[in-house]
Chains A and B, each alone.
Chain A
């Protein structure tokens, strides 16, 4: 059916509104006007609706925690499979049986124990758990679960979805983790550890010993660049002004050293519960999450992929580490969430907790049904694996799929109904759901990756229009 003139006009106006937002924000950035101020101007001139649209990033930022070499098993003690934790059986691989309870109000079954992070958040803000994919024991960069959506890696398609969100460095991967590729995905920037991220956003010229390391020289450079640029006769032309304004902003940025703003301070470590006695692998997670909040706040980065634990804790039940490590991890995760909730994005003025997706998934969660003989075994029921996601309210909360104390694995189908466990399909649904969360519920945006998998209303909370 042909579109009516009214519909066509409305479409044209919609495009115009998008163009207005795009160019206003771009011009504002070039002129050094804050996005908050731009939105204020838009509200006055183009209305509240346009201002609201301008203030939204179309995608969330994301933190991907990748516990390797059996390290994912620690997170089963934080976010346990409900049937295992609620069985109140010390022979099962849950370290505090009978000390927690099922949370009321989540969409799916969800168990909160003494070491479960984010327990004070509302039911709609809790984690989503998936029994999905295949276990791939003893690898730091496992792919059998996270790369099952149209053969794209979850980290790569996250960067593709985040492409429209401005960032100096789109994605940072720590300690050799790979992100794979996806159409439209960003190239990864690799660093050895979280402290190296701090220097990533500094220009070489602004670092110690660099040409612009002294503020006097940085100021001289910025001023003289503007002076030389104005000698280009065409720089004042209407067709070149925006480009030159961007370049003038870049010349000013060149002499700005961001290290002080991004550096990990002792107060940060105290807030995250890190002390001199904290194990290095746990401290590394805290460092990465501290830097993630700071870089997200300034719009410097959209995604951080970090390794976790990598310690293959076969003897954790026998040697008592289950009584200390999960509590430390909970402390770090809770401090991270507190930071996200108390920090607003400098670009959008949105609270980061509402604009950040956290995923956790690694090589093997180990056997959740037994730690007999002091050995928490690598083999998982049915070869299953887990993915956890904090979706900022975009996904239904609780667990999809389950593992019974007997070891029977229950999967789920495309309608989220219980089904025979299928590693490939469950991973596909889980990854499409994570993409949906990162795209803030925009099914059209995830369609190039999801290949027809429907998320809204099934795994995901329908987008509020």
Chain B
């Protein structure tokens, strides 16, 4: 009996499968990146397949999505926070001199995406081109003040630290002071490269300060 039962079962399964295939909906013509769902379940699911190895590699480096979404997002620096940063690195955030860092900060609330309470607009969360360029503009305008504070040893967050030595070479302690994390050899190397690549050394020093601050405070 078994000799006939297995082939019969396979045949029945094949017939059933082919019959069911006729009932399947036609293949979804949606383009890559679209989502798809069934007619009875309107929950959409990503239609793309992903490489499990890429996913595993990403999870190993970044952690699970529930963790990365909290720890590795990159919101813009809040307007008030930026004011504190400026003060911390020796920039007068209340300076009213035209196109000084303080002036750009005070008059740049709109471009920086600060909250607009009268119009019931909350502070922007994401980084925008206009917001980032204004923030970087502030750092560029404030670079001379930062260098002066280092020279005078009066920088608020790390008094006495030096950013450049007598030969205009970048010092790790100064970079650490600006970024808030220990400076690496690459930091020092890039800093020195900035100083020497500019049109002159004083400009190079300002460019280095502006670029270091901009990179350190791109995200909150």
Contact = CB atoms under 8 A, between A and B. Distances in A.
Contacts of B140: 203-205, 210-212, 221, 254
Interface string B186-209: 110010011001110001101110
Across the A-B interface, the 9 shortest Cβ-Cβ residue pairs: A228-B215, A250-B132, A243-B74, A250-B133, A205-B140, A240-B74, A204-B99, A8-B42, A229-B215
Interface in B106-164: 110-111, 116, 118-121, 126-134, 136-137, 140-141, 143
Interface stretch (B5-13, B27-35, B78-86, B88-96): B27-35
Interface residues of B, number: 66
A10 to B, nearest CB: 10
A5 interface: yes
Interface string A369-401: 000000000000000000000000000000000
Q: How large is the interface on A (under 10, 10 to 19, 20 to 34, 35 or more residues)?
A: 35 or more
B34 A13 contact: yes
B169 interface: no
B141 A5 contact: no
Interface in A200-236: 203-205, 207, 210-212, 214, 216-217, 220-221, 224-225, 227-229, 231-232, 234
B124 to A, nearest CB: 12
A187 B116 contact: yes
Contacts of A251: 132-133, 136, 211, 214
A16 B34 contact: yes
21 contacts: A5-B39, A12-B44, A16-B35, A16-B44, A181-B118, A203-B137, A205-B137, A211-B140, A211-B141, A211-B207, A217-B207, A228-B215, A232-B216, A232-B218, A238-B62, A239-B72, A243-B218, A244-B218, A250-B133, A254-B133, A254-B140
B33 A204 contact: no
A260 to B, nearest CB: 18
B68 interface: yes
Interface string B16-29: 00000000000000
A298 to B, nearest CB: 13
B168 interface: no
B39 A6 contact: yes
A244 B99 contact: no
Query: Chain B contact residues: over half helix, strand or loop, or mixed?
Result: helix
Interface in A1-58: 5-6, 8-9, 12-13, 16, 20, 29, 45-47
A5 B218 CA distance: 44
B187 A240 contact: no
B190 A217 contact: no
Contacts of B197: 220, 224
Interface of A: 5-6, 8-9, 12-13, 16, 20, 29, 45-47, 168-169, 181-187, 189, 203-205, 207, 210-212, 214, 216-217, 220-221, 224-225, 227-229, 231-232, 234, 237-240, 242-244, 246-247, 249-251, 253-254
Query: Chain A contact residues: over half helix, strand or loop, or mixed?
Result: helix
B211 A240 contact: no
B198 A220 contact: yes
B49 interface: no
Contact of A253 (B116, B133, B210): B133
Nearest to B44: A12
A247 B31 contact: no
A217 B208 contact: no
A253 to B, nearest CB: 5
A237 B39 contact: no
Contacts of B215: 225, 228-229, 231-232
A228 B74 contact: no
A187 B108 CA distance: 11
A211 B128 contact: no
B167 interface: no
B73 interface: yes
Given A204-B104, A231-B190, A237-B72, A182 B31 contact: no
Given A9-B42, A228-B211, A237-B62, A211 B72 contact: no
A246 B72 contact: no
Contact of A211 (B69, B133, B134, B203): B203
Given A228-B215, A237-B68, A254-B133, A247 B127 contact: yes
B23 to A, nearest CB: 17
Given A225-B214, A231-B187, 4 more contacts: A45-B32, A186-B110, A247-B132, A250-B136
B133 A5 contact: no
B42 A228 contact: no
A207 B134 CA distance: 14
Given A181-B119, A187-B110, A217-B198, A228 B187 contact: yes
